[in-house]
C-alpha cells in the first residue's frame, strides 16, 4: 500500500469516526467503567489526562471526584459535546481538539493518563510517537491506565499487537493486566502501567503478566 493511499484511508476513517458524533456512537455508552471507578476510589485526586476522550464522560467523572481533568480527541464534534456535557454537569474540565499521538495543547505532567480504546487504533509509527509523548506527560509516580482489544491473527486492521505492547513495556512498568473480551468475543485487556517501578515496601504489588 502506498503512503498516499494509506493517508487517504486514515482520513476517511477519521471522517467516518467524527460523523458518528452527530448521532450516537456505539462505543459512547455514557458511563465510566468499573476499572476507572476503582482507581478513583483507591487514589487521591491529582491531574488526569484522557487520551481519546470522546464526549468527555470519563473526564467529567474524574472532575466530579476532585481531579483536575483534561481530555483530547481529534473529532471536533466529540469535543463540542464534551464541553457542553461538562457545562451541564457543573464541573470544570478542559477539552481540546488534538492528536493523541502527539498532543500539543497540554502542558505539565499528569498523575493519571487514561486511554480507553485509543492506543489499539494506532499504527506502529503513531504508536512510537504516542509512547514518547506518554513518557513526557506521565509524572514520575504517575499511572497509565489503558484498555484495548487485540489484533486478529493475520488482520491489518486495528488492535493491540506484540510490537505495540513491547513499545510500552520498554518504557514503563506493567503493574497489572486483566484479560477480557470486547463485546463478548474479541480478546481484550485492561493494563495498568507505572512510570517508575513500585517503591520499596510495595514491590509485592508489581505483577508482570
DSSP string, 75-124: -HHHHHHHHHHHHHHT---EEEE--SSS--S--S-EEEEEEESSGGGS-H
What is the SS3 assignment for 56? Answer: coil
The pLDDT tens digits of the residues spanning 136-175 come to 999 999 999 999 999 888 777 789 999 999 999 999 999 9
Confidence of residue 21 (pLDDT cuts 50, 70, 90): low
Q: Give the mean model confidence (pLDDT) for residues 36-49.
A: 98
Of 78, 79, 74, nearest to 25 by C-alpha is 78
Judging by DSSP bridges, how do beta strands 138-149 and 68-73 pair with one another?
unpaired
Lowest mean pLDDT among 46-50, 69-73, 194-198, 202-206: 202-206
Confidence of residue 93 (pLDDT cuts 50, 70, 90): very high
C-alpha of 120 from chain center: 9
Architecture of domain 30-205 in this structure? 3-Layer(aba) Sandwich (3.40)
In this prediction, residue 6 carries a pLDDT of 37
pTM listed for this prediction: 0.83
Lowest mean pLDDT among 49-58, 133-142, 190-199: 190-199
Confidence of residue 206 (pLDDT cuts 50, 70, 90): very low
Amino acid at each position: 500500500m502506498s503512503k498516499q493511499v494509506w493517508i487517504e484511508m486514515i482520513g476517511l476513517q477519521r471522517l467516518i469516526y467524527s460523523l458518528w458524533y452527530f448521532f450516537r456512537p456505539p462505543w459512547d455508552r455514557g458511563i465510566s467503567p468499573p476499572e476507572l471507578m476503582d482507581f478513583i476510589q483507591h487514589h487521591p485526586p491529582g491531574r488526569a489526562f484522557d487520551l481519546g476522550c470522546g464526549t468527555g464522560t470519563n473526564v467529567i467523572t474524574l472532575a466530579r471526584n476532585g481531579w483536575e481533568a483534561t481530555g483530547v480527541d481529534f473529532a471536533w464534534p466529540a469535543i463540542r459535546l464534551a464541553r457542553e456535557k461538562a457545562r451541564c454537569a457543573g464541573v470544570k474540565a478542559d477539552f481540546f481538539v488534538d492528536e493523541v499521538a502527539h498532543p500539543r495543547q497540554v502542558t505539565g505532567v499528569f498523575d493519571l493518563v487514561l486511554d480507553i480504546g485509543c492506543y489499539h487504533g494506532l499504527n506502529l509509527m503513531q504508536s512510537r510517537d504516542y509512547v514518547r509523548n506518554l513518557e513526557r506527560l506521565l509524572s514520575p509516580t504517575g499511572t497509565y491506565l489503558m484498555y484495548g482489544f487485540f489484533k486478529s491473527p493475520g488482520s491489518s486492521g486495528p488492535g493491540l499487537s506484540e510490537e505495540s505492547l513491547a513499545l510500552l513495556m520498554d518504557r514503563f512498568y506493567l503493574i497489572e493486566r486483566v484479560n477480557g473480551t470486547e463485546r463478548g468475543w474479541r480478546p481484550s485487556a485492561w493494563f495498568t502501567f507505572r512510570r517508575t517501578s513500585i517503591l520499596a515496601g510495595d514491590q509485592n504489588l508489581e505483577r508482570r503478566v
